[in-house]
Every structure is written in C-alpha cells, then in structure tokens.
Amino acid sequence: MSKTSSKQMKKLSIDILLGGVLVFGFTALVLLIAGAPVFATLKNIWLGAFASTTKISQVLSVWVPLTLCACGLLFTFRANLWNIGIEGQVIMGAIGAMAALRIPGIENPVLITALAFFASIIGGSLWGLFAGLLKTKGGVHEIFGGLGLNFVAQGFILWLIFGPWKRPGIASMSGTELLPRELWLSTPPGWRVSIGGLVIGVSVLILTWLLLEKSMLGLKLTAIGQNPRAARLYDISPVAHYLQSIIIAGGCAGIAGFLQVTAVYHRLIPSISSGYGYLALLLVMLAGYRISLVPFLALFFAALNVGAIQLPIVLQLDSALSGVIQGCCVLSTLFIIGIRQKRKQS
C-alpha cells in the first residue's frame, strides 16, 4: 500500500509541478501579449493581496464565500452532478436573507440576523431543489436546469432592486438601501472580514469533511456518483440522494449569499454573488474534487482576485487579468488530467 501511495504522491507532485509551469508559461504569454511586464505584474498581485492586514482580511472576505460554494459543490460532484446552478443559489440565499432582514417589527438584531441566516439557507436550498427536481422528475440535465435558474434568479434580484425593494425615491444599480448598522456582522477595526463569517466558513468546511468522509451519506453519494445502477441493488435511491446533495449545495451557497449581504455589501446589489459560484466550480475541479485542497486553492483564487484590483492603478492593466490567470490554472489542470486519462486508456 505504502509503495503505491508514495508512487501516487510522486505522480501528484509531478502533476503539480507541470501544472505550475504550464500556468506560469500561459500567464506570462498572455501578459506579454498584453504588453505588461511579467514579474512586475505578479509582484503587484502578491502585494495587492498580502501587503497589509487590511488586504489580507479582504482576501479572507473573498475566501469565505468561495469556500462555502466549493464545499457545497463537493457534495454534488460526489454524486456526479454538475451543479452549475450554484450561482443562482447564492443569489437566492442573498434574497432570502434580505427578505428576513426586512421583516418589520422585530427589534432584536441577533434574532433577525439568525432569521436571515436560516432564510438564506432555505432560499439557496429551494433553488437547488428546483434544479434537482427538474433533473429527476423532468429529465432536464442539471447543467441546463441550473443555468436556466441562474438567469431566473438574476432577473428576480434585478426586479426586487428596481421594484419592490428600491431605495426610497430612486431605483439604482447600486442596490437597495444600506442596512442599519446593528444588522451588519461585526468586523474588527481596520479589517474587511467579519469574525462571524470566518467562523461560519471554517465550520462549514469541517462539517463538509465530516459528512463526506465520515458519514454514510458521503459514502452513499460516492457510490451513486460512481454507479447509480448498482446503487439500486444496495437499496440506495439515486433520486433521493441527488436531491439531498443539491439541497445541501444550495444551502451552502445560500449562506454565502447571507454573508455577502450582512458582512460585505450590507445591502442587496445586482451582482451580489460576485461570480463566486462559477469561480468555485473551477476551484473544485482544480482541486480534483478533494476537500483537503479546497481551502488552499480558495485562498489562492481569493488572493488573485483581490491582488489584481490594484493592477489598473499601478500598472495601467485591466483587473480582468486575474480571471485570465484563474482560467489558465483550470485549463492547465484539465489538460493534465486529460493527458493522464488518455495515457491510462492506451
């Protein structure tokens, strides 16, 4: 056993090294084409992400929702479901939270925040459940169902912001009215991330690990993901587990939406999900569906996202460069995995 695992480790490290080289080469090429100095750009991204406590905390504020979405996706990927609807599930979580926060007559901020937390889970889960039901009852592939529901969620949030929940007097792309201060999740002075958010992120990460690795649910999802036909001989219902996994994923995404509202933007904005759902899909693929790599890769992606913000100011480059680098990472990984599989087959 140890022999094979050390062999696997060697293979993995070669893969990572190869991937690193590919990513760097690819990125450097793109930067050169864009006419940007390669090392200066990378250095600025690094400084932009880690140069001060404020910046580090800002990276963490991206890390939390990204990790939450990735955790949710680990469940659906286990069951071999492509939950591309995760983006819409974040949005619906945010809407659920906002709906609860707007309930009139509740004075206690702790109570109403707790309500918002649960409402966000319900919002995200429900959106996941819809995609799941479309698949299991309607035969709609979860990619198409999820994608469709993303559009519906996006339309819904726009309607709320410009319609019933608009600011008194004006409706604007900048979102709904700011929440009263007491409903903001508390953030230490000079920090950009709330302690509550960090606690939730780490807790969900641990809970996900427990459920996937230590509970029967994780094992059953693995079984269904590998062979749904055989699962029936073990009296494990694929339909029930598809729905369970996508509900859990929706719940995790919903919490991300809750934090975006209560800890980051303190209001509802059209782009409340910040694309973290899609980014998390890439992240989980990059991690090879392994939870152990998720927090680190989430940190890497978060750092890229935050670090690239200052590129336009310092180097007159577009901050979209971070997206290009992230894309390169994923493509290189998929490329390496693809080559491995092809070699295995032949």
How far CA 148 is from CA of 89, 141, 157, 270, in Å, comes to 12, 11, 15, 17
Per-residue HEC secondary structure of 119-147 comes to: HHHHHHHHHHHHHHHHHHCCCCCHHHHHH
Q: How far is residue 147's CA from residue 315's CA, in Å, rounded to a whole number?
A: 36
Q: How far is residue 154's CA from residue 243's CA, in Å, rounded to a whole number?
A: 23
Position of tokens 């022999």? 3
Tokens of 109: 């901020």
* CB-nearer residue toward other proteins: 47 or 219: 219
Position of tokens 């901020």? 109
CB of 212 to other proteins, least distance (A): 11
CB of 87 to other proteins, least distance (A): 30
Residues that bind other proteins (CB under 8 A): 1, 214-220, 222-223, 226-227, 229-230, 232-237, 239
CB of 144 to other proteins, least distance (A): 23
Per-residue HEC secondary structure of 80-107 comes to: CCCCCCHHHHHHHHHHHHHHHHCCCCCC
* CB-nearer residue toward other proteins: 247 or 268: 247
* CB-nearer residue toward other proteins: 5 or 316: 5
CB of 4 to other proteins, least distance (A): 10
**Of 256, 253, 251, 228, the residue nearest 135 (C-alpha):** 228
CB of 253 to other proteins, least distance (A): 24
What 3-state class would DSSP assign to 260?
Answer: helix
CB atoms within 10 A of CB 223: 18
CB of 124 to other proteins, least distance (A): 23
Tokens of 209: 């690990």
CB of 141 to other proteins, least distance (A): 19
* CB-nearer residue toward other proteins: 139 or 189: 139
* CB-nearer residue toward other proteins: 110 or 233: 233
* CB-nearer residue toward other proteins: 159 or 234: 234
* CB-nearer residue toward other proteins: 174 or 226: 226
**Of 235, 204, 191, 206, the residue nearest 60 (C-alpha):** 191
